[in-house]
Structure 1
C-alpha cells in the first residue's frame, strides 16, 4: 500500500492559548512555539507593538497591564473573543529586582509583588470561566530557580518567585477536579533582553556574563527556546497527568553540586 502523504496532526491543533508578557524573551519564544505546534495564540503585553513584525500574522497582540484588574479582564475577554475559546494560559509576565533586604523600599516591594504574583492571580481569575469550559485546560506559570536556591542580591525577586511556586501548588490543588492542570517552570538565568539590560549596567559586562555562565553547571545561560519547550510540554496533552509540578530548566543549577574545576 502507498504511504499516506497527509502530515500527522500537530499536538496543539484546535487549542487556544494566551501568553502574558509574550512580546519578548521567554514569552515570545513560548508564543511562537505554541503557534508552530498548532495553537491559536494571543500575546498579552504591556507593549504589544513590540511584537516583531514577522510574528504579527501568526500571533494576536493584545494590550494588557497585569497590575490593573480592568485591563486584565478586558484583555482576556478580547483574546477569547477573537480566539473563540481558551485552553492554555501561560502566566509569564514578570519583572526583575536586585539587592539585599535593605536595598529596596516598600514601594518597590509592592511593585514587584504586584506584577510577579498578583498579576498571575488577576490573569488566572479572569481566565478561569473559559478554562473550565475546555476539555484540555492547562495553566503554566513562569517561576525561577530563585524560588528554590538562595541567590545573592536577589531577595525581592526570590521572594516573589517563591510565592509563585506556592501559588502554583495551591492552584493545582484547587482546580484539579475541574480538569484544570497547573504547573510552573523554574528557569535558571536565561539569555533574554532583561539579562542584556542588566549586563549593560555592569562595570564589566563581559566579566559579569562569564560569571553568570559559570554559575550554571552546564557553563552557559539557558536559552528562551529551552524554557519555551518545557512550557509547551506542560501545556500539551502529552502532560495530561502532570499537575502541581515545578519543572527545572536551569542547567543543573538547583540540583547539582559540582566540585571546583574538572574533578
Structure 2
C-alpha cells in the first residue's frame, strides 16, 4: 500500500539512523523525498540509495537547521524541484549531555539551536504553503527524555520538552486548517550513533547487553519501527490525530523503579 503517493516529504537529518529509515519508508509509500542533511556526503549517498532501491525520487539538500536562512533556502529548492512540501519530519538533532552547572553557554546554544530552534525554523518555512492548500503534516521527533529525565543529561531534555510544547502549540493553532502536527518520542534505538557510543566503552559487547537488558522488551528499538509510525502520521489516514506524542520506547517510560 502506497499511502503517500503524490506527496512531497522533507526529512531533516536523514543521512543515517532514524531519519534515513523514515525517508526510505516514505519513498516506499510513494512519496518524493527530500533529505535535508548537514553532511553533503551522507545526504547524497542516502538519496542515491533510496532512489536506486525504491525507484522513487529522492534528493539531497545540504541544510543546517540551526540557520534559518539555510532552512528557507532548502525549502525553496525542494519546492522548485519537487513541488510544495506536504510532509515535514523534524528529525535532525544533537545530544548534548552534562551537569547543569558545568555546561558552557556554547553547549546550551548548540543544543537549543538544533533540537528546538531547528524544528521551528523548518515548520515556519513550510507552514505558509501548507496553509494555502489547507493540507499538511508535520512530525517532530522528540525523545522519551521529553517525558522523564536522567541526571547529567542536561540540557537535552529541556530542548525535547520544548519540542513537545512546540508540537502542541502548532497543532492547536492550525488544527482548523487541515494541518496535523504530531510528535514521536523514541527510546533507545539501534542507530549508528548508538553503536558508536557502545564502542567507546571498555567492553562494547557487554555494555550493549546491559543496555538491552534494561529495556522491558529486552532489546533496542529498530529505526524501521519509528519509520512505520511516521508513515502513518504522514498519511491522510491519521489527519484526525493532532497534538499527539507517540512514545516508541519498549516500555521504558511506563516502568517504575525496580
User: What is the TM-score normalised by the length of structure 1?
Assistant: 0.90
Q: Note if 1:165 corresponds to 2:157.
A: no
Would the aligned equivalents of 1:216 and 1:252 in 2 still touch at CA under 8 Å? yes
Equivalent residue, structure 1, for 2:255: 256
User: What is the TM-score normalised by the length of structure 2?
Assistant: 0.92
C-alpha deviations, 1:30-75, integer Å up to 9, x for none? 0000110011111100013213342255411111011111111001
Equivalent residue, structure 1, for 2:74: 75
Picking from 39, 50, 57, the partner of 1:55 is: 50
Equivalent residue, structure 2, for 1:39: 31
Max Rg structure: 1
Would the aligned equivalents of 2:27 and 2:50 in 1 still touch at CA under 8 Å? no
Matched residue pairs, number? Answer: 251
Q: Residues 68-217 of structure 1: matches in 2 within 5 Å?
A: 68-217=67-216
Matched residue SS, 2:174: helix
Would the aligned equivalents of 1:49 and 1:61 in 2 still touch at CA under 8 Å? no
Q: Note if 1:18 corresponds to 2:10.
A: yes
Partners of 2:106 and 2:206 in 1: how far apart?
32
Question: Any gaps of 5 or more consecutive residues in structure 2?
Answer: none
Residues 146-155 or 30-39, more deviating = 146-155
From the superposition, tell whether residues 214 and 101 of structure 1 become closer, same or farther in structure 2 (CA, over 3 Å): farther
Shift of 1:161: 0.8
Shift of 1:230: 1.1
Matched residue SS, 2:2: coil
Would the aligned equivalents of 2:9 and 2:31 in 1 still touch at CA under 8 Å? yes
Shift of 1:12: 1.0
Structure 1 or 2: more helix by fraction = 2
Equivalent residue, structure 2, for 1:30: 22
C-alpha deviations, 1:81-124, integer Å up to 9, x for none? 11112110000000112223234211101111100000011111
Question: Any gaps of 5 or more consecutive residues in structure 1?
Answer: 1-8
